[in-house]
Amino acid sequence: MSVDAATVKKIASLARIAITDEEVAKIAPELDNILGWIEQLGEVDTSSVEPMTAVIANKLRLRDDAVTDGGKRDAVLANAPQAEHGFFTVPKVIE
């Protein structure tokens, strides 16, 4: 397995992180090295093992179907880089 430049560009795009060609050239061997080191997990026989889902056995609770929160529009928007008329604003997405 090897992580090449095209792979790095693809995962950076999936992760929504802009990346320059210089950064790709630097990161590709780093990721290749780390993923190569991680590969050793493949040697563990896990054929009869269930993947862990909860580290401490804990029953998921159910709560009453009641309104417990809300009415906090201004608090929710308070840290927005840009908010107008009670909404988050973003660049135009529909022409």
Q: Which residues of this protein are in contact with another protein, per CB under 8 A?
A: 3, 7-8, 11-19, 27, 30-31, 33-35, 37-42, 44, 46, 49-56, 58, 60-61, 63, 72, 75-76, 78-82, 88, 90-93
Q: Which of 30, 23, 42, 21 is closest to 2 using CA atoms?
A: 30
Q: Which is closer to another protein, CB of 25 or CB of 82?
A: 82
Sole residue written with tokens 């029953």: 59
Residue 68 CA: distances (Å) to CA of 64, 65, 75, 86, 89: 10, 9, 16, 21, 27
Q: Which residues pair with 84 in a beta bridge?
A: 87
Closest separation between CB of residue 17 and another protein, Å?
A: 5
SS3 for 3? Answer: coil
Structure tokens at 19: 């990346």
Closest separation between CB of residue 52 and another protein, Å?
A: 4
Closest separation between CB of residue 86 and another protein, Å?
A: 14
Closest separation between CB of residue 85 and another protein, Å?
A: 15
